[in-house]
Chains A and B, each alone.
Chain A
């Protein structure tokens, strides 16, 4: 197994990544590590902000209260962005086989989407704990494309990426790929017989975080109160 760390990986980030891959890491410590990785991503994202950008963070349900919340909290603390919006997807999976490399789709079962400001430039950050096939990222990005302006920028962010996943995603969006930026701390180039990335994020993220696909994240419950009562 070989892992390549990027220029964004500090010693602290490396420790957090190791915490994820260590099988003995308990659930609470794993959750904290994901949250802190999100906090670490926030300033790097902030460096890419334009004047008066609205930050839109798109995540999947399992990442909402940890990795995505870290980015949200870190971005709110920095006060770089005028507004921050969260979009959370509940995806299911259909596939021709059990391997992650088998042809698959990630249809959206449910979506939480805060209203985007129509008169602002957006920086969309699609965040995922790990990007391998890119199926879910692709699905959720496609879902949001119509909400973006032609000159909005997109960052695809993950602590770990499977080698080549970024090229595959760019290939899937030829019209938009010049607006993509990828942000990650590590690249892995090995997978197991099921197509899971090694060392990746230490296995099945649902098991490691001890969450199910049917949860309602706390960040969604908290944030929606302000939008549901605003109107």
Chain B
């Protein structure tokens, strides 16, 4: 049975018409799109962390065909979270021709009819005062499964990371170099870039595991690897051990190096599970550098 049929049957033809028209609207402006992609990126980071730490996967959908439709997280067939994003301050629960709280009620009804037992709906809003006001004025009829979340508008990923502690925490957990700002910024941008490319919709929801795999294939990614210690060939260890004043280490699957107490230092832009790392080792063994000046070109 299609979604529209279910809605017609359970909520009436007028509501079904409203739902159909809701998704015929044009795309929102650039600012709204940025706000949504920022929110999606934060969720991607959080769920990617869950995947790495607890092996918990989920799916994302953007602009889903439903009432609370901006962003949806499918945790399982029976556990779904719905998010409505408002980059605005002029939001109320009960104003307009189609009050927001009714969308939440309809969503709960529709989800229940389709076998989803655990439903949560969240209003995500950029204005802090509005978020507080909406929290306190939330209609009783939706309180059991609804919440309000303040998510600030940010000019860029770096600002977002500084303004949203949960995002910063998740990025630090994903990044192979959690104390290095430049690598943290890079991971945030890569996640957003992968999300923007994916554009998961009704028909092709995106699994976080697939998105994360794509992010790790980006060069550079700086997303921590899962292989530790790095599989360094014994011959490579011998070669590197003989280069005067040269040392190396691994950090979450990445090869970092140091020459002459930090006079020069760096990190390979790919992790040790990448085929390029195998190639790096092969080149090292072929060229067998005996000093730093012979080695340094291979480190870029």
Interface residues of A (CB under 8 A from B): 90, 92, 94-96, 103-115, 139, 142-143, 172, 213-214, 216, 221, 224, 227-228, 231
Contact = CB atoms under 8 A, between A and B. Distances in A.
Given A96-B192, A103-B156, A142 B264 contact: no
B282 interface: no
B188 A224 contact: no
A224 B264 contact: yes
B189 A94 contact: yes
A90 B182 CA distance: 12
Interface in B157-204: 157-158, 180-183, 185-186, 188-190, 192-193, 196
B186 A231 contact: no
B266 A107 contact: no
A72 B139 CA distance: 67
Per DSSP, chain A at the interface is mixed
A104 B296 CA distance: 27
Contacts of A90: 266, 300
Interface size class of B (residues with CB under 8 A): 20 to 34
A110 B264 contact: yes
Across chains A and B, which 3 residue pairs bring their CB atoms closest together, nearest first? A110-B266, A105-B185, A107-B186
Contacts of A214: 297, 300
B90 interface: no
Interface stretch (B65-73, B100-108, B117-125, B255-263): B255-263
Contact of A95 (B189, B245, B261, B299): B189
A96 B193 contact: yes
A94 B300 contact: no
A115 B265 CA distance: 13
Interface string B259-300: 011111111010000000000000000000000010011011
A106 B182 contact: yes
Nearest to B195: A96
Nearest to A220: B264
Given A103-B157, A111-B266, A139 B196 contact: no
B264 A94 contact: no
Contacts of B205: none
B32 interface: no
Given A214-B297, A216-B297, A92 B220 contact: yes
B158, B188, B218, B299: residue with the most chain A Cβ atoms closer than 10 Å: B158
